[in-house]
């Protein structure tokens, strides 16, 4: 069930991998490939390579690899079908589905997106022009937001009344079921549609692909909760969504930085103050799912929360997130008791400065503690040292802990060893554990004989020069043997799809490695073949000696001749001898000796 295989192949072939990856990674041409910093782990030296010829990428640091489809899935966190649809849209390819019900489900979601977009337009017009939108307009003006801001973020007003939106959408040819399934209304006891959100300022929410999925509605009175969000639907999953990401995604990737806020107006304030990398959660606490979305877009994460209980509760998990998602966490030093939107209204430059002056999470907490402490007395400094030791002890890195021990001791004029001992006492408590202890070790690249790797690399990147010159029996490593067998039996992409993950990863890595600075030539290909045949012949000679084969002297003479020809760089003679030795090797393998 899903998209026809032919259409998947068309999408893959039509996708410019370099252009696609360049939307997330700054690539530089290096020979026949492109290179940049890996988007999947933190690094300072580029180890991420893209082969435009083979349409694959590989990171030599974290060992991840794949093609255009796997890249989008990793970066965007989409399922397979969503990924193909995204790439098909880029390539203007109309997809076909092999199951009618599956196709209907995709069309159904498109219908729900259209319904939400119609609701965005309806609410937006009410805010701009309708008399009942006056309350929303006055509120926004009081917060410093003008008409341009309203239009930029497509803000709206949900009128009072049971069904103004529902009636409008039905007149626009959306069915009752469309309206309900999109989370825009529900069926009341009178079996009539009733709008889900009424009498609220509306903030439209888009998913990472830019499709409209729902709303956050803010009350401007004392009635009900402050915010009411669209209920969970087939297209709206609030735990995975970040408000403003559709606007900010390009800048986040370009700058490698994201600012996370608590409220929708906070995002607006940051954007309007010159910080276009702000996003906010949609009525939920900051959680792992949000970082699964963000970790491939930016490595620097700045929390821009008001220093209240909700903000601090979210910040408490930052060490775990730093370890798990390889991000650099910091906190914007906003004035206590004021949210970013309030700061922006009074002084937009202060908001931008708060982000530029953001501090690592532990430093921020210690600074806040020291500001509140009474450091004028010995007792006050001792209490601050003890409380600071508790904060320092939570950090999983011992080197970082010791740096902060020295800093805290200097600020409080206390011997570092006393603070260090206090930190050690805290860490002996059962509940204090290093997040690093639970982190899995990074994957280790499979080790294969260099000569077999060289031959495989050429078979991948210059198959026209290696055709007919290699045999699967020349590869002793099971991984290399499987890889070569796949290359000889299947087209490139089909080989990747049918191979084991280990074989596919090896082939993708070889596809982005350099062959030779001088470029692929017939002579260089001969060098590779001769080296591989020589190694295989050495193994055959050892085997024949062990079993006392009477032909041992013959093969030894040919192998010695090959070695001498290679050493003296008589490559024509070496190639002829290699062809003869390959016959020995394949015959021996066929005999099952």
Question: pLDDT truncated to tens, each residue of the chain (593 aa)?
Answer: 478 888 888 888 889 999 999 988 889 888 778 999 988 887 788 889 999 888 899 998 888 889 999 998 888 777 788 888 889 888 888 888 776 656 677 788 889 999 999 999 999 999 999 999 999 999 999 999 999 999 999 999 999 989 999 999 999 999 999 999 999 999 988 899 999 999 999 999 998 878 999 999 999 988 778 899 999 998 998 888 999 998 888 888 778 899 999 889 999 999 999 999 999 988 777 777 787 778 767 888 998 875 444 445 544 577 777 777 778 888 888 887 788 888 898 888 888 898 888 888 888 888 888 988 888 889 899 999 999 998 888 888 889 899 999 999 999 999 999 999 999 988 887 555 444 444 444 444 455 678 888 899 889 888 888 888 888 889 988 888 889 988 888 888 888 888 888 888 888 888 888 776 556 788 888 999 999 999 888 888 888 888 888 888 888 898 999 888 888 888 888 889 988 898 888 888 777 65
Q: Does domain 365-438 have CATH number 3.30.460?
A: no
SS (H, E, C) 297-365: CCCEEEECCCCCHHHHHHHCCHHHHHHHHCCEEEECCCCCCCCHHHHHHHCHHHHHHHHHCCEEHHHHH
What is the CATH topology of the domain spanning 5-91? DNA Primase; Chain A (3.90.580)
What is the CATH topology of the domain spanning 240-353? Dna Topoisomerase Vi A Subunit; Chain: A, domain 2 (3.40.1360)
Q: What's the pLDDT at 430?
A: 55
Q: 108-236 belongs to which CATH class? A: alpha beta
CATH topology match: 5-91 vs 240-353: no
3-state helix, strand, coil in the chain (%, to 5): 55, 10, 35
Q: What's the pLDDT at 518?
A: 59
DSSP assignment of 370-381, as one string? Answer: HHHS-TTSHHHH
Q: What's the pLDDT at 163?
A: 93
H-run or E-run covering 368: helix 361-372
Q: What's the pLDDT at 543?
A: 86
Q: What's the pLDDT at 445?
A: 47
Q: What's the pLDDT at 435?
A: 40
**Phi-psi map region of 578: left, alpha, beta (phi>0 left; psi -120 to 50 alpha):** alpha
Q: Where are the domains of the chain?
A: 5-91, 108-236, 240-353, 365-438, 450-590
Q: Are 486 and 495 in contact (CB under 8 A)?
A: yes
């Amino acid at each position: 069930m899903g998209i026809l295989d032919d259409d998947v192949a068309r999408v893959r072939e039509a996708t410019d991998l370099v252009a696609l990856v360049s939307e997330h990674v700054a690539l530089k041409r290096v020979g026949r490939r492109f290179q940049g910093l890996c988007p999947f782990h933190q690094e300072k030296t580029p180890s991420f390579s893209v082969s435009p010829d083979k349409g694959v990428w590989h990171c030599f640091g974290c060992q991840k690899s794949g093609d255009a489809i796997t890249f989008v899935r990793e970066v965007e966190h989409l399922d397979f079908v969503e990924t193909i649809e995204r790439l098909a849209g880029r390539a203007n390819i109309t997809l076909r589905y092999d199951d009618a019900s599956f196709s209907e489900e995709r069309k159904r979601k498109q219908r729900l997106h259209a319904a939400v977009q119609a609701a965005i337009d309806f609410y937006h017009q009410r805010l701009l022009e309708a008399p009942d939108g006056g309350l929303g307009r006055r509120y926004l003006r009081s917060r410093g937001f003008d008409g341009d801001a309203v239009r930029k973020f497509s803000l709206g007003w949900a009128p009072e009344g049971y069904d103004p939106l529902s009636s409008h959408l039905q007149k626009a040819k959306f069915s009752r079921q469309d309206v309900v399934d999109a989370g825009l209304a529900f069926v009341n006891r009178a079996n009539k549609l009733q709008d889900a959100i009424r009498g609220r300022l509306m903030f439209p929410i888009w998913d990472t692909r830019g499709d409209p999925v729902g709303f956050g509605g803010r009350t401007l009175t004392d009635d009900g909760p402050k915010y009411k969000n669209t209920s969970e639907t087939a297209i709206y999953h609030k735990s995975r969504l970040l408000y403003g990401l559709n606007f900010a995604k390009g800048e986040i990737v370009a700058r490698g930085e994201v600012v996370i806020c608590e409220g929708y107006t906070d995002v607006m304030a940051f954007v309007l103050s010159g910080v276009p990398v702000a996003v906010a959660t949609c009525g939920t606490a900051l959680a792992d799912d949000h970082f699964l979305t963000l970790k491939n877009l930016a490595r620097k994460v700045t929390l821009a929360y008001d220093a209240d209980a909700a903000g601090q509760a979210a910040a408490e998990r930052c060490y775990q997130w730093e370890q798990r998602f390889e991000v650099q966490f910091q906190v914007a030093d906003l004035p206590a008791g004021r949210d970013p939107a309030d700061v922006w209204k009074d002084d937009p430059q202060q908001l931008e400065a708060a982000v530029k002056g953001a501090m690592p999470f532990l430093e921020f907490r210690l600074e806040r503690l020291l500001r509140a402490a009474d450091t004028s007395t010995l007792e006050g400094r001792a209490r601050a040292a003890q409380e600071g030791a508790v904060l320092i002890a939570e950090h999983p890195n011992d080197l970082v802990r010791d740096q902060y021990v020295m800093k805290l001791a200097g600020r409080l004029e206390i011997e570092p060893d006393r603070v260090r001992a206090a930190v050690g006492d805290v860490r002996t408590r059962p509940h204090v554990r290093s997040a690093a202890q639970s982190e899995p070790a990074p994957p280790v690249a499979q080790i294969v004989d260099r000569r077999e790797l060289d031959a495989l690399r050429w078979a991948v990147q210059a198959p026209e020069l290696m055709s007919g010159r290699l045999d699967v029996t020349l590869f002793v490593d099971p991984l290399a043997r499987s890889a070569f067998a796949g290359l000889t039996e299947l087209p490139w992409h089909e080989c990747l799809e049918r191979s084991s993950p280990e074989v596919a990863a090896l082939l993708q890595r070889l596809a982005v490695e350099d062959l030779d600075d001088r470029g692929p030539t017939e002579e260089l290909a001969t060098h590779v073949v001769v080296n591989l045949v020589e190694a295989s012949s050495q193994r055959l000679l050892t085997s024949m000696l062990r079993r006392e084969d009477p032909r041992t002297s013959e093969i030894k003479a040919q192998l010695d001749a090959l070695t001498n020809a290679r050493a003296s760089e008589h490559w024509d003679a070496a190639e002829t001898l290699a062809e003869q030795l390959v016959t020995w090797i394949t015959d021996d393998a066929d005999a099952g000796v």
